Amino acid sequence: MKLSRVLSSHPLTRAKLLRNIHLWIILLLTASIIIFYYNWQNWFPDFWYYFVFVEYIHSAIGLIVIAVPFVYATIAFHWRGAAIIGLISVPALIPLLLRYYAPTSNKFPLNITFLALPAVVIVLVAFERNWRRTEKQIAREREKERQIYMAQLIAAQEAERRRLSLELHDDAIQRLIALANYADNSAMDLNQKPPEAVKQDFLWIRDNTADLTEDLRRMSMDLRPSILDNFGLIPALRWLVGRLHRETEITAKVKIEGEIRTLSPKVEDAIFRIVQEALTNAKKHANCNTVLVSLEFNQDSLQITMEDNGKGFVKPEGFPMASEGKLGLIGMEQRARSIDAALDIQSHPGKGTMITLSIGRQSLPI
């Protein structure tokens, strides 16, 4: 097999010729220093005293061969290159070490320790490389998840706009037109109808106007509940829980512990939307009959827990929730991250779901 093919298949030198050059320089440097170690007494008798001061002081053999090529290999090829140079240089120095120091000598353990230092460096570099690789992978997955989430969020917003547009056009506007036509006809027949019939016409207009007003108020509350702006977070959460209780057979309650504190509008809005999404999931998917929303106010933290006794689910490993269509969960995590809060979702099939939002001092008012 040709040497070039071996080098091209090696993980260190597969990509670029420049890395091959580094590899050859490191190997040549290592071999030269090892040969020099074995012959310095004949070639340069004063070498020990004038050029290897560190080794002279510590009676350590091999610091130069370990330091120079090893550091070069670590920089050029990371832990793999360092491991290769260590496997070449350390065994090559053992015979030289045995020549000068017997295993019973007190200098022998010191030299072995110095020669073992590359192994420690290799382990540290390997851990650091794995950590960086893991962090990059997590960052890539989060970015992919964010892009999927944003795409699905835009699609959901467009679908919601389409629904509201249809509801306004096909329902509210048509009912307003019908009311206007009915009022116009009633006005034209005002002198021809008996008072009781006129009264019934006005009552019909009043009732239908009230129903339409209630529907418009419902749509407005779905878009942005005014109770959050006018009365604050706690009344808004009680309204959410109360609406869930009224619309379903779910027994929903709010539990408050600690001294209630006023939060910033951004934090309150994020908490409201997270609780809203959790209650929506409980209503649509959990098949539960009880829901408890707990708020625990502490001096430097706030913890919100949303717990149901429903059927639960298996949370996907890693960050594939948006790609699997779990837009609500990833949206909750995105909102929690926007206020520097931690969101923990615990759920198991048949054991319900518990969602905990932990807000630290950095997001709370001083």
Of the candidates 248, 186, 161, 175, the one whose C-alpha atom is nearest the C-alpha of residue 208 is: 175
Report pLDDT for 41. Answer: 64
Average per-residue pLDDT in the chain? 77
Is the predicted pLDDT of residue 349 greater than 80, yes or no?
A: yes
Condensed to tens digits (0 to 9), the pLDDT of residues 167-179 reads 777 777 788 888 8
226 touches 220 (CB < 8 A)? yes
Task: Give the distance between the most distant pair of CA atoms in the chain.
Answer: 133
Segment of 78-82, 101-105, 322-326, 344-348 carrying the highest mean pLDDT: 344-348
Res 254: pLDDT: 93
Identify which of 324, 328, 343 has the alpha carbon closest to the alpha carbon of residue 285.
328
Contacts of 4 (CB under 8 A, 6+ apart): none
Report whether pLDDT(246) > 50.
yes
Reported confidence tier of residue 3, pLDDT bands at 50, 70, 90: very low
The CATH number that domain 227-366 falls under is 3.30.565.10
pLDDT at 366 over 60: no
Spell out the domain ranges in the chain. Answer: 3-141, 227-366
Q: How confident is the model at residue 2 (pLDDT cuts 50, 70, 90)?
A: very low
- 252-271, pLDDT tens digit by residue? 999 999 888 888 888 998 89
Residue 300, pLDDT score: 85
**How would DSSP label each residue in 12-65?**
TTSS-HHHHHHHHHHHHHHHHHHHHHHHHHHH-TTHHHHT-HHHHHHT-SSHHH
